[in-house]
Amino acid sequence: MVRFAIFGAGAWGTALAIHLARAGQVVTLVPRREEQAALMRSQRQNEARLPGFSLPDNLHVDADSDQALANSDVVFLGCPSVGLKDLCHSLSVSPALRVGGHGHVLISLAKGLEQKTLDVPSRVVQAALPYSDFGILSGPSFASEIAAGKPAALVLAMHGPSELIEDIQCALSNAAMRIYLSDDILGVELGGCLKNIYAISAGICASLDLGSNATSALLTRALNEMVTLSVAMGADLRTLYGLAGFGDLMATCSDDQSRNRTFGKRIGRGESAEAILASQGSVVEGYRACDCFYQLCQKRGLVAPILNQIYAVLFECKPARQALTDLMTRSLKAEH
């Protein structure tokens, strides 16, 4: 049996914990603070982050990270990208962490880059915990739908012993969740990061009432841009046409459950990014990712017209309609 610990009791971490407990797995959800853990244990729900969903009786909630590590084999890193480095550092000094050989397997749920270094999650984790087996779980996965037991398909990208990877795949999978395997960790990471940026542009399109033709064109060209950038950075082309790329892009751009899409809708209505971020408690990964990928494109000489316009709207106060005009009046070319 595979034993799981999920560090980070946000909406997605909580939903994944509910899914695993419902599937009969041994799982501990680890909030950052003991008072949060105590409240969740007494209420049997995460009212702050995922209200309306009961925690199964067999789901343990414990803020004692050493105890959670001692009772687990697979550790999900369920924090936003901005907190990933600090979480990894805290785990690295824990006497309960097992590394190398039959040590803990670390699986990231983050969908963003480290802002100072522009590193993908795998590089952040491996810098702090270089001897641990590592993977990333990604794909279209709204937390409320996972918690409700609605069907979903995700991709788990890992390097390590094949038997171990298959054991984790089987433990995660049931009639409500189908897990596909990949060895392209970088591609899965980049797909999960980039789609959040383009979801902001989809929200802007919606608020400006540009219509289905414009939205379809945007998403098609956004996918092309995702593929171009990811392959230039070393990803496998096929990954971006799978669940972590195209699949996550479609979900995030088409549904208001997406924080990035709703953020874009508010931007399109004329609100400033700073005011929106200050008014909500949740992280908008696409906002940070846009800044990071803009810097990467500048450093590497990569062409990303849509991303560049989103950056100009978010960080240079460019009017959204002017950004649209500039995209539509670029020099004409063939579609490849």
Count Cβ atoms within 10 A of the Cβ of residue 8 and give its class: 0-12 exposed, 13-18 middle, 19 or more buried. buried
> Of the listed 85, 195, 265, 299, which one is catalytic?
195
What is the Cα–Cα distance from 28 to 6, expressed in whole angstroms?
A: 6
Radius of gyration of the chain (CA): 20
- Per-residue buried b or exposed e for 150-174, using 16+ beta carbons within 10 Å of the residue's own CB: eebebbbbbeeeeebbebbbebbbb
Q: Kindly report the backbone phi and psi dihedral angles of residue 9, in degrees, each rounded to the nearest multiple of 5, phi listed first.
A: -105, 45
pLDDT digits (tens, 9 = 90+) for 196-242: 999 999 999 999 999 999 999 999 999 999 999 999 999 999 999 99
> Of 171, 124, 178, 125, nearest to 155 (Cα)?
178
What is the Cα–Cα distance from 112 to 169, expressed in whole angstroms?
A: 23
What is the Cα–Cα distance from 3 to 25, expressed in whole angstroms?
A: 7
First vs last C-alpha separation in the chain = 48
In this structure, which amino acid lies at residue 249?
L
| Amino acid 65: pLDDT | 97
Query: Token digits for 79?
Result: 């924090």
What is the Cα–Cα distance from 38 to 54, expressed in whole angstroms?
A: 15
| Amino acid 285: pLDDT | 97
> Of 301, 111, 266, 118, nearest to 194 (Cα)?
111
Given a cut of 50, the residues of the chain with pLDDT beneath it are none
Handedness of CA 144, 139, 229, 233 (dihedral sign): positive
Which residue stretches of 29-104 are H helix?
A: 34-43, 65-70, 84-92
Query: Token digits for 234?
Result: 């070393």
Active site residue 195: yes
Residue with tokens 């983050």: 110
Quote the pTM value.
0.97
